[in-house]
């Protein structure tokens, strides 16, 4: 074992389960560069050629701003459900959560459940109202009866901040992952991702982005289905037999690592501990706060909300969430099986892992990829690597499109041009923004290479839960909500979620390098507090708002509600 590997395994041993949990949120960590993998690269090349061909087809259909933002509203519920799943299942979920299951078993599924439970909330309270009131961005809905300039400025800020953090995490993850899987240099990987993402969005708009996401979702679901099937087939399709093998492997590893008689005696208990909750949840406040960030953050992610405008009506919008929930839930169940497959098939194989320390080739995030190799050989491992790359592309394309719409539709067309942009300029602005965002994403991706960005995906969820979600839900459901309340409360949620994250251990200590224990805010996630601040802020600054504008906004609630509930006057698909 060379010095760097030694260091890596020590660092891994020092990591607590909660750190791994955070890493699963988006940081793929520092990784060793692997030999160039030609099988994976050629599979990926096939994917790229296919998606570029689709982009060319989509470009011919992308003529108006409506085509660019919503694919003309002509996507079916089933297609949109797959696209949402493709937008949502990131490489970090795929590789990070399977790695987490491999290292700590049951704790991995706690994370998965958190990522899933926001979907019913979207279904029951938001999906149809979004579709009925909205056109291109969630600000159309949040600002339906409000003073356009301030609410759009807020919504665009919320969108851009969430997109920025999510995008940086994805770019850094992409660079690390591609270095690992394909053996390319970090910066080359980041430039490839940024370049392809710009091409998809710039030329193909929402149509190309949707199809990239659908194809990626199908490939990913097919890949994990095959892997989980093969893992289970090794154990006679008995989960109990698979779990028993996992416990046995973990017990052996614990016994091998034991240096004292007490540790040897405790090996069996340590092996069995992967079947129950471990150190992921340290204190109840962190548990609840983190759960709230995941649950309500999902319902405030701008790139996800935007997908509801691509379907023709409320019926299809509901179908979309149902299919998205189904595919995402199915995916997470299989990821758990694959994580146990990694314990049973990867940790035990000296070709992939050190049988004494239990460290695997290329670091813990290679768990799922090595399961692919174990059950399907080199060719399938190449396929899974290419799918992981495609996964990142689909997610960043969705993020960029959503950031571009916030700038062109909310800021340019509505705030600057007062809702009357000269013909064709809105589309030009969104394309220019796409270019700018792509360049910024590449530069930030390179700048953050050596940084610990583990907190960024969690932060994006916390901001979405604390800024976008409260404003959206109260503007939809609460008659007395006013522009002043929504904007002030929303900004309070935005600022407090960022500030509390900065002074939390994951940034203050892990990223900024302050001594352990010096963080002012002790919890994993700010959502419990920042959401409370946002809701209280919106409530207080709304009820104390006695302006004529506020009276007008309260008076407009009933009409908004009629339209939200019945779809009267909802924007129709432009059709082709």
Residues interacting with another protein, by CB under 8 A?
106, 109-110, 112-113, 116-117, 119-121, 123-125, 128, 144-145, 239-240, 243-244, 246-247, 272-273, 275-277, 280-281, 283-284, 287-288, 291, 295, 314-315, 318-319, 321-322, 325-326, 329, 332-333, 555-556, 558-563, 565-569
- For another protein, which is the closer residue by CB, 249 or 374? 249
With contact defined as beta carbons under 8 Å apart, do 334 and 308 qualify? no
Q: Rounded to the nearest whole angstrom, what is the least distance from the CB of residue 458 to another protein in the complex? A: 16
* Cβ closest to another protein, residue 174 vs residue 411: 411
- Cβ at position 429, least distance to another protein in Å: 21
Spatial separation of the C-alpha atoms in residues 189 and 519, rounded to whole Å: 34
Contact by Cβ (8 Å): 481, 487: no
Q: Cβ closer to another protein: 19 or 273? A: 273
CB of 330 to another protein, least distance (A): 8
Q: Judged by CB, which is closer to another protein: 212, or 413?
A: 413
CA 118 to chain centre: 12
Q: Report residue 137 as tokens.
A: 């961005």
Please, which residue, 194 or 526, has the CB nearer to another protein? 526
In the bound state with another protein, the residue whose beta carbon lies nearer, of 71 and 281, is 281
Is residue 335 within 8 Å of 93, Cβ to Cβ? yes
Nearer to another protein, 66 or 247 (CB): 247
CB 5 within 8 A of CB 359: yes
CB of 22 to another protein, least distance (A): 17
Nearest-5° Cα angle at 160, 526 to 563: 90
Supply the minimum distance, in Å, between the C-beta of residue 273 and another protein.
Answer: 8
Backbone angles phi, psi at 572, to 5 degrees: -95, 160
Place of tokens 């169940």: 333
CA dist., res. 135 & res. 146, Å (int): 16
Smallest distance from the beta carbon of 34 to another protein, in angstroms? 33
Nearer to another protein, 120 or 355 (CB): 120
Q: At what angle do helices 239-257 and 314-341 cross, to 10 degrees?
A: 50
CB of 124 to another protein, least distance (A): 4
Whose Cβ is closer to another protein: residue 117's or residue 499's? Answer: 117
Q: Where are the alpha helices (DSSP H) in 411-482?
A: 425-447, 455-463, 469-477
Shortest Å distance, C-beta 555 to another protein: 7
Q: Percentages helix, strand, coil for the chain, rounded to the nearest 5?
A: 75, 0, 25
Q: Rounded to an integer, what distance in angstroms lies between the CA atom of residue 109 and that of residue 357?
A: 24
- Backbone φ and ψ of 353, nearest 5°: -140, 155
Q: How far is the CB of 332 from another protein (least distance, A)?
A: 6
Residue closest to 532 by CA, chosen among 564, 506, 496: 496
Q: Which is nearer to another protein, 33 or 135 (CB)?
A: 135
Task: Give the nearest distance from C-beta 125 to another protein in angstroms.
Answer: 6
In the complex with another protein, the residue whose CB is nearer, 187 or 330, is: 330
- Distance of closest approach, residue 324 Cβ to another protein, in angstroms: 9
**Per-residue tokens: 484:** 């002043």
Query: For residues 218 and 244, which CB has a smaller minimum distance to another protein in the complex?
Result: 244
- The contacts of residue 408 (CB under 8 Å, 6+ apart) are 65, 426, 427, 429, 430, 433
What gap in Å lies between CA 27 and CA 503, rounded to an integer?
19
| Residue among 305 and 502 whose Cβ is closer to another protein | 305
Q: Which residue's entry shows tokens 């995030």? A: 365
Phi, psi of 136 (to 5 degrees): -120, -40
φ, ψ of residue 360 to 5 degrees: the values are -110, 160
Task: Give helix 107-116 / helix 17-24 axis angle, nearest 10°.
Answer: 40
- Reported in sequence order, the residue ranges of 507-560 that DSSP labels E, i.e. its strands, are none
Least Å distance, CB 294 to another protein, is 10
Q: Which residues of 44-72 are buried (b: 16+ CB within 10 A; e: fewer)?
A: beebbeebbebbeebbebbebbbbbbbbb
CB of 562 to another protein, least distance (A): 5
Q: How many CA atoms lie within 13 A of 489 on its CB side?
A: 32
């Amino acid at each position: 074992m060379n010095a760097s590997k030694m260091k890596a395994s020590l660092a891994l041993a020092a990591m607590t389960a909660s750190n791994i949990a955070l890493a699963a949120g988006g940081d793929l960590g520092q990784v060793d560069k692997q030999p160039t993998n030609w099988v994976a690269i050629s599979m990926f090349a096939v994917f790229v050629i296919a998606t570029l061909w689709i982009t060319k087809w989509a470009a011919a259909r992308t003529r108006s701003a409506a085509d660019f933002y919503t694919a003309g509203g002509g996507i079916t519920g089933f297609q949109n459900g797959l696209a949402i799943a493709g937008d949502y299942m990131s490489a970090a979920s795929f590789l990070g959560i399977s790695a987490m299951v491999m290292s700590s078993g049951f704790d991995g599924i706690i994370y998965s459940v958190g990522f899933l439970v926001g979907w019913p909330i979207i279904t029951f309270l938001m999906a149809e109202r979004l579709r009925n009131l909205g056109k291109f961005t969630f600000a159309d809905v949040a600002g339906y009866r409000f003073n356009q300039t301030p609410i759009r400025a807020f919504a665009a800020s919320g969108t851009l901040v969430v997109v920025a953090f999510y995008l940086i995490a994805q770019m850094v993850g992409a660079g690390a992952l591609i270095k690992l899987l394909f053996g390319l240099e970090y910066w080359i990987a980041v430039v490839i991702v940024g370049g392809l993402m710009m091409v998809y969005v710039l030329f193909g708009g929402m149509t190309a982005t949707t199809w990239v996401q659908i194809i990626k979702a199908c490939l990913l679901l097919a890949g994990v289905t095959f892997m989980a099937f093969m893992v289970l087939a090794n154990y006679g399709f008995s989960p109990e037999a698979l779990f028993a093998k996992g416990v046995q492997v973990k017990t052996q590893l614990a016994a091998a690592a034991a240096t004292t008689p007490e540790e040897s005696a405790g090996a069996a208990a340590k092996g069995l501990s992967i079947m129950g909750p471990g150190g992921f949840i340290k204190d109840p406040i962190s548990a609840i706060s983190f759960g709230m960030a995941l649950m309500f953050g999902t319902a405030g992610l701008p790139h996800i909300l935007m997908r509801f405008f691509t379907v023709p009506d409320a019926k299809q919008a509901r179908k979309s969430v149902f299919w998205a929930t189904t595919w995402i839930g199915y995916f997470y169940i299989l990821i758990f099986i694959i994580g146990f497959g990694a314990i049973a098939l990867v940790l035990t194989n000296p070709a992939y892992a050190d049988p004494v320390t239990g460290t695997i080739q290329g670091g813990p995030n290679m768990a799922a990829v090595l399961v692919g190799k174990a059950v399907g050989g080199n060719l399938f491992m190449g396929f899974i690597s290419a799918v992981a790359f495609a996964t990142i592309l689909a997610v960043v394309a969705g993020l960029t499109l959503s950031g571009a719409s916030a700038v062109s539709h909310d800021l340019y067309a509505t705030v600057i041009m007062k809702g009357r942009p000269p013909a064709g300029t809105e589309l030009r602005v969104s394309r220019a923004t796409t270019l700018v965002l792509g360049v910024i994403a590449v530069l930030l991706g390179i700048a953050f290479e050596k940084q610990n960005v583990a907190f960024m995906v969690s932060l994006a969820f916390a901001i979405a839960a604390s800024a976008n979600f409260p404003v959206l839900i109260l503007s939809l459901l609460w008659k007395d909500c006013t522009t002043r309340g929504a904007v002030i409360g929303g900004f309070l949620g935005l600022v407090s979620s960022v500030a509390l994250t900065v002074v939390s251990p994951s940034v203050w200590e892990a990223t900024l390098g302050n001594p352990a224990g010096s963080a002012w805010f002790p919890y994993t996630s700010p959502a419990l507090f920042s959401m409370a601040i946002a809701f209280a802020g919106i409530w207080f600054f709304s009820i104390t708002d006695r302006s004529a504008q506020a009276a007008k906004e309260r008076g407009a609630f009933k009409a908004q509600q009629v339209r939200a509930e019945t779809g009267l006057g909802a924007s129709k698909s432009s059709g082709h």
